[in-house]
Amino acid sequence: MLLHRPELAADPPTDARPPVVWEDTACPLCGHDDAAVLTEAADPTPGGAGLRFAVVGCRHCGLAYTNPRPTPATIARFYPPGYAPHDVRPARDARPPSRLRCRLLGRPCPEYLGQLPNPPGRLLDFGCGGGRFLRRMAGLGWAVTGLDSSPEAVRAVRDGVGCEAVLGTLPHPDLEPGSFDAVTLWQSLEHVHRPLATLREAHRLLVPGGSLVVAVPNFGGLAARWFGPHWFGLDLPRHLTHFTPATLAAMLAAAGFRVTAVRGWVHAKWVRASAKRAAGAGAGGPWTWLCGRKTVARVAAWAAYAAGRADVVVAVAERPV
């Protein structure tokens, strides 16, 4: 079902990249093709000016997803140079934060969640970017492997961090079934076209009893409600699936996992960035203006976390034995 097909400006003659090809998709979770438009938003990056995209909600399972969307072969056009998650600069500090610091900052520390195997084993980080997390886990004794679709990121991990990294996505021919004790996906699952297939492959790569950690923006969070199309976590059209704690847990279960924990993650920077984006578009009222202040953004992010509706949701799951 085609709901919106953004009009694209003609490519500049010097641009050798292939033009964007659009595709319509059924629900990435249940497969039904019966959805209603939930919101529409513009591409917030400078190169995406003028394009608007639709997020639809499946009437059968409730999953929200971007539709229509650029095909896997052409979505790279929407990743501008310097896209933050592809930042391949070396980590300034590879030391893991203390348990107390994690608790005070409202951040997840997978190595402290009590879910990952102890002693450390083999870990795959899907969407590893510049390798900050890999470096941290390697420092804790894990044998780490990074996987990323960006050649620059893979090069940075191999040469800069000194860890193993492979180029591509899942499934990957170089990764053997049952060869990892843990797989992590830090804000990468929302970027893939077939998230259920990605999770099923992660399941296959894990040993029985192995752990999976997934963090994604929380479409059911309070900030998503406050800022609507200006919410930082929407990031259209790069984010293709817009999870809530419930739909993330449902997809993990559909992939064969047993979910053991679902937690929030405080992201005050996202609240502030969303507020500024809304104010810049002339949207929002006093609350938007207030959330543009650093202190208020922090309080708001903590309030959302305390209410169980933080900006990011982290799920821990295991491959049943």
Residues that bind Zn ion (CB under 5 A): 27, 29-30, 58, 60-61, 63
Q: Which is nearer to Zn ion, 27 or 153 (CB)?
A: 27
* Maximal CA-CA distance, the chain: 56
Q: Which is nearer to Zn ion, 195 or 210 (CB)?
A: 195
Q: Are 106 and 73 in contact (CB under 8 A)?
A: no
| Least distance to Zn ion, CB of residue 60, Å | 5
Which element (helix H / strand E) includes 302? helix 294-306
Sheet containing strand 164-167, edge to edge, reads 164-167, 143-148, 122-126, 180-186, 206-217, 312-318, 258-265
Q: Which is nearer to Zn ion, 27 or 205 (CB)?
A: 27
Query: How far apart are the C-alpha atoms of 296 and 241, rounded to whole Å?
Result: 29
Q: Are 207 and 176 in contact (CB under 8 A)?
A: no
Q: Which is nearer to Zn ion, 31 or 114 (CB)?
A: 31
CB-count burial class (<10 Å; 0-12, 13-18, 19+) for 303: middle
| Least distance to Zn ion, CB of residue 29, Å | 5
| Least distance to Zn ion, CB of residue 25, Å | 11
Q: Which of 232, 223, 210 is nearest to 307 (CA)?
A: 223
Query: How far apart are the C-alpha atoms of 53 and 40, rounded to whole Å?
Result: 5
Q: Which is nearer to Zn ion, 35 or 312 (CB)?
A: 35
Q: Are 64 and 242 in contact (CB under 8 A)?
A: yes
Q: Which is nearer to Zn ion, 33 or 40 (CB)?
A: 33
| Least distance to Zn ion, CB of residue 249, Å | 14
Residue 242 phi, psi dihedral angles, 5° rounding: -120, 95
| Least distance to Zn ion, CB of residue 64, Å | 10
Query: How far apart are the C-alpha atoms of 290 and 305, rounded to whole Å?
Result: 18
| Least distance to Zn ion, CB of residue 28, Å | 8
Query: How far apart are the C-alpha atoms of 31 and 60, rounded to whole Å?
Result: 9
Question: How many other C-beta atoms lie within 10 A of the C-beta of residue 108?
Answer: 22
Q: Which is nearer to Zn ion, 181 or 190 (CB)?
A: 190
Beta bridge partners of 65: 56, 241
| Least distance to Zn ion, CB of residue 246, Å | 12
Q: Which is nearer to Zn ion, 3 or 61 (CB)?
A: 61
| Least distance to Zn ion, CB of residue 34, Å | 8
Please state whether beta strands 35-42 and 52-58 pair in parallel, antiparallel, or not at all (unpaired): antiparallel
